Amino acid sequence: MDVTQTKQEHLLALKVMRLTKPTLFTNLPVTCEDRDLPGDSFGQLMRDDPSTIKGAEILMLGEMLTLPQNFGNIFLGETFSSYISVHNDSNQVVKDILVKADLQTSSQRLNLSASNSAVGELKPECCIDDVIHHEVKEIGTHILVCAVSYTTQYGEKLYFRKFFKFQVLKPLDVKTKFYNAETDEVFLEAQIQNITTSPMFMEKVSLEPSMMYNVTELNTVAYGDDGESTFGKMSYLQPMDTRQYLYCLKPKPEYAEKAGVIKGVTVIGKLDIVWKTNLGERGRLQTSQLQRMAPGYGDIRLSLEMIPDTVNLEEPFDIICKITNCSERTMDLVLEMCNTRSIHWCGVSGRQLGKLSPGAFLSLPLTLLSSVQGLQSISGLRLTDTFLKRTYEYDDIAQVCVVCPYTSNEC
């Protein structure tokens, strides 16, 4: 949209053109069989067409490029480039020419002019050229305001402006999901959908973690020393297609040891997405800081630091439990071990664990055995805080596979 505030004839003419990559020229091939009435007429016309590829005239893509025929679409994360030209259409010498370009968004006004100094004079049929660039970081309505001021040879100061209005569209739809593991690990699934009308080459999709976490990307498959992307060698995202990216975040040791730190809403990090479209035109999008609600563990958290994957039937095996005081008070703990139908604890129940300060943890080795084969759930632990006479019971702490070490006849 072009709105001009010119109520009088000016000596200077302002022209603004958006700079974009060209597109490949396409044609519509028309073919027929040799026995048809036209014979080889259509084939000869396509061979004589300079836009077709020699030897492959029936392909729609040609060897030529096409300049943009309209303003086109501008997407968030792309770089908006524009060519500004001020031409002296008169037969007079114009002095003190100042060209200013501002971009007005819904929240701010940005100065895009490369130079704010005036040009001394501009002779007839001469011009002043400038190219501006701006990385688009907001969606919605944008207005490019180009203002020109100058002085005639008679000392009269004149001024005019032009407005160019355009819309910035959203290129990607990004959705995130968090999954909490039994340990302190957090899995992030990022769903990215191409909502434009042209394919994209996904150059990079990475997660920049916050200072509390280390991140591991789970989007490659290891083959020897090299890793191959799970999406293949050609990472193209077609219009309206969706792709899932997976990341594993683990708290840094200095934060994982402090139970009170990772509580409530925590900042995970932000996604950095880089893509290329028509003839390598690049776009980049960074999300805001991703947040998740850390799971609540109550006053005491009991987790397993070590457990074997497979154990033998009716043979004792060892595990290591980690008991963390998540409250803001000191606790005096007593451990009770209650047998279940399949799990039998070894040792003395009612064991005094002593005092545990806020945020502190205790590693506790325990021994148990299973009397039933198959996948068994470890249950039956009970902690009692003698200060408040409060009891915490823990069932389904983890699962272990129990196998029979003998032949099927002996079990």
pLDDT tens digit sequence for 259-295: 555 655 578 899 999 999 877 888 999 998 888 776 6
Are 74 and 136 in the same domain?
A: yes
State the chain's mean pLDDT as an integer: 84
pLDDT in tens, 176-197: 998 877 667 889 999 999 999 8
Residue 267 lies in a domain: yes
DSSP label at 117?
S
Q: Are 308 and 399 part of one and the same domain?
A: yes
Whole-number Cα distances in Å, 259 to 263, 287, 297, 326, 329: 8, 28, 10, 6, 13
How far apart (Å, rounded) are the C-alpha atoms in residues 87 and 125? 7
Q: Tell me which residue has tokens 């925590």.
A: 266
Look at residue 224 and tell me if it is in a domain: yes
Rounded to an integer, the average pLDDT of 115-125 is 86
157 and 236 housed in the same domain? no
- Is the residue at 174 inside a domain? no
**What average pLDDT does the segment 86-95 reach?**
90
CB distance 170 to 195 below 8 Å: yes
Could you tell me if 355 and 392 lie in one domain? yes
Give the total number of structural domains in the chain.
4
Q: Which residue from 74, 73, 137 is spatially nearest to 110, judged by alpha carbons?
A: 137
- 409 inside domain: no
Instruction: Please indicate, yes or no, whether residues 80 and 38 belong to a single structural domain of this protein.
Output: no
Q: Are residues 243 and 342 in the same domain?
A: no
Query: Strand locations in 105-199, DSSP E?
Result: 109-111, 119-122, 127-135, 140-151, 157-169, 172-180, 186-194
Give the containing element (helix H, strand E) for 103. strand 94-104
The angle formed by the CA atoms of residues 138, 142 and 147, to the nearest 5 degrees, is 135
How crowded is residue 247: how many other Cβ atoms within 10 Å of its Cβ?
23
In this structure, the answer to whether residues 62 and 135 fall within a common structural domain is no
Contact between 175 and 190 (Cβ < 8 Å): yes
Does 176 reside within a domain?
Answer: no
At residue 1, the pLDDT reads: 46
141 pLDDT higher than 70? yes
- Is the pLDDT assigned to residue 67 strictly greater than 90? no
Residue 165 sits in the same domain as residue 81: yes
Measured at the CA of 193, the angle between CA 187 and CA 197, to 5 degrees, comes to 165
Percent of the chain with pLDDT over 90: 43
Task: Give whole-number Cα distances, 118 to 82, 133, 157, 164, in Å.
Answer: 20, 20, 13, 23
27 token code pair = 């044609």
Residue 409: its pLDDT value, please? 42
CATH number of the domain bearing residue 136: 2.60.40.10
Of 245, 264, 294, the residue that ends a domain is 294
* 327 and 261 in a common domain: no
Question: From the DSSP assignment, how many helices (H) and strands (E) are in the chain?
Answer: 2, 34
Lowest mean pLDDT among 7-16, 64-73, 393-402: 64-73
SS3 58: coil
Q: Is residue 105 part of a domain?
A: yes
**Region of 353 on the Ramachandran plot (φ > 0 left; ψ -120 to 50 alpha; else beta):** alpha
pLDDT tens digits along 359-408:
788 999 999 999 999 999 999 999 999 988 889 888 888 889 999 887 55
Q: What element of type H or E holds 255?
A: helix 253-256
* 329 falls within a domain: yes
Helix (H) or strand (E) holding 231: none
Domain that holds residue 278: 182-294
Spatial separation of the C-alpha atoms in residues 344 and 380, rounded to whole Å: 9
pTM, two decimal places: 0.67
290 shares its domain with 201: yes
Residues 52, 151: one domain? no
Q: Summarize the confidence of residues 98-121 as an average pLDDT.
A: 88
> What is the C-alpha to C-alpha distance for residues 171 and 194, in angstroms, rounded to an integer?
6
Q: Does residue 58 sit in the same domain as residue 109?
A: no
Strands of 255-409, DSSP E: 265-276, 282-286, 290-293, 300-306, 310-312, 317-325, 331-337, 343-346, 351-356, 361-370, 374-378, 381-385, 390-394, 398-403
In order of 67, 293, 369, 395, the CA distances from 326 in angstroms are 64, 16, 30, 19
Q: Is the pLDDT of residue 6 over 60?
A: no
The per-residue pLDDT for 65 is 76
221 in a structural domain? yes
Q: How many CA atoms lie within 13 A of 33 on its CB side?
A: 2
